[in-house]
């Protein structure tokens, strides 16, 4: 009888573990799918990301725009950003949003929802019952200051692509840098001559 009870208990544990594994697998946030049109950046799969996050589209968009420092709009399930935003930057901002506004800091599960109380935004976990303000979660994060990107300074950049006009394209943090007279794959020292929004222009220097 004791062995029978043990076997039944073991089956229940395996069943619960399998269910938890299925639930975890169900929360797979798509990687950002980005392409460029002229001087705009298009996030193609914004609607698919929102479906998985289970968050308000306007809330996520406002976070993205504020994080990358540009303007943008939702159009047919996509987001169109003004300026050329590196895909890595958008992916990093998505990861930051998930960690701040979706994943429970106590049990690490995505079964949460946002609650606004007065002027405070709270995140409540339906799985473990944890309830805390978004502000307190942000304060606990270690903030790594970005390197300052300034006109007149010299930076070592790697040419990732060649633009339509033949200029080399490099990236620095959220900036897209255009450099004439270079080849794809080269690593060069570049003096930044002009910065406009998230777009910069430079020239190779010795």
* Assessment of whether the complete model's pTM goes beyond 0.75: no
Question: Same CATH fold, 154-204 and 1-102?
Answer: no
192 pLDDT exceeds 60?
A: yes
First to last CA, the chain: 83
Least confident among 18-22, 119-123, 180-184: 18-22
Say which CATH topology domain 1-102 has: Alpha-Beta Plaits (3.30.70)
pLDDT given for residue 8 in this prediction: 61
Least confident among 24-33, 95-104, 155-164, 187-196: 24-33
Written out in words, the top-level CATH class of the domain with range 154-204 is: mainly beta
**DSSP labels for 115-173?**
EEETTEEEEEETTT--EEEHHHHHHHSPP-PPPP--TT-EEEEE--EE-TTS-EEEEET
Q: Where are the domains of the chain?
A: 1-102, 109-144, 154-204
pLDDT given for residue 148 in this prediction: 72
57 pLDDT exceeds 90?
A: yes
């Amino acid at each position: 009888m004791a062995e029978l009870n043990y076997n039944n208990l073991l089956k229940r544990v395996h069943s619960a573990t399998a269910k938890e594994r299925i639930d975890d697998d169900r929360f797979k946030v798509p990687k950002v799918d980005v392409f460029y049109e002229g001087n705009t950046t298009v996030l193609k799969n914004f609607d698919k990301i929102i479906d998985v996050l289970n968050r308000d589209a306007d809330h996520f968009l406002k976070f993205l725009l504020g994080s990358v420092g540009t303007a943008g709009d939702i159009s047919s399930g996509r987001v169109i950003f003004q300026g050329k935003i590196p895909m890595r930057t958008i992916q990093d901002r998505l990861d930051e949003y998930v960690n701040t506004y979706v994943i429970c800091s106590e049990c690490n599960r995505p079964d949460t929802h946002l609650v606004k109380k007065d002027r405070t935004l709270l995140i409540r976990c339906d799985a473990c019952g944890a309830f805390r303000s978004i502000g307190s979660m942000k304060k606990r994060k270690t903030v790594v200051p970005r390197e300052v990107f300034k006109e007149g300074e010299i930076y070592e950049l790697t040419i990732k692509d060649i633009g339509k006009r033949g200029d080399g394209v490099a990236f620095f943090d959220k900036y897209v840098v255009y450099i004439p007279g270079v080849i794809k794959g080269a690593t060069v020292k570049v003096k930044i001559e002009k910065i406009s929004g998230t777009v910069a222009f430079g020239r190779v220097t010795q």
